[in-house]
Amino acid sequence: MNLKKGYLVKVLTGKDKNKSGEIIEVINRLNKAKVKGINIVKKHLKTTKEKKGGIISKENFIHLSNLKRVENNEDKTKIKKEINKK
């Protein structure tokens, strides 16, 4: 299963288990993805002429095996179940 940018996914394991978010970036050769609001880490930046230094929070990569794609609309599955019951 190939996960692509923009897909809605759920985290299966780790500190952010059962949280969901949208994929921001994917690196296929490393099998890793960045998910919006998941796996937040602190990054220490040095002050330069262009940028102010300090501690920033940003998303880090997660292995694709720890992610599961989630359907955007739960209503589709409910309709299918009702049709199957009849």
The per-residue DSSP string of 1-41 comes to ----TT-EEEE-SSTTTT-EEEEEEEETTTTEEEETTSSEE
Give SS3 for 45: strand
User: Which tokens go with 58?
Assistant: 């940003």
pLDDT value at residue 41 = 96
| Contact by Cβ (8 Å): 11, 18 | yes
Which tens digits make up the pLDDT trace of 14-61?
999 999 999 999 999 999 999 999 999 999 999 999 989 999 999 999
Domains of the chain: 8-85 (2.30.30.30)
CB 31 within 8 A of CB 1: no
pTM across the whole model:
0.73
Rounded mean pLDDT, 72-79:
57
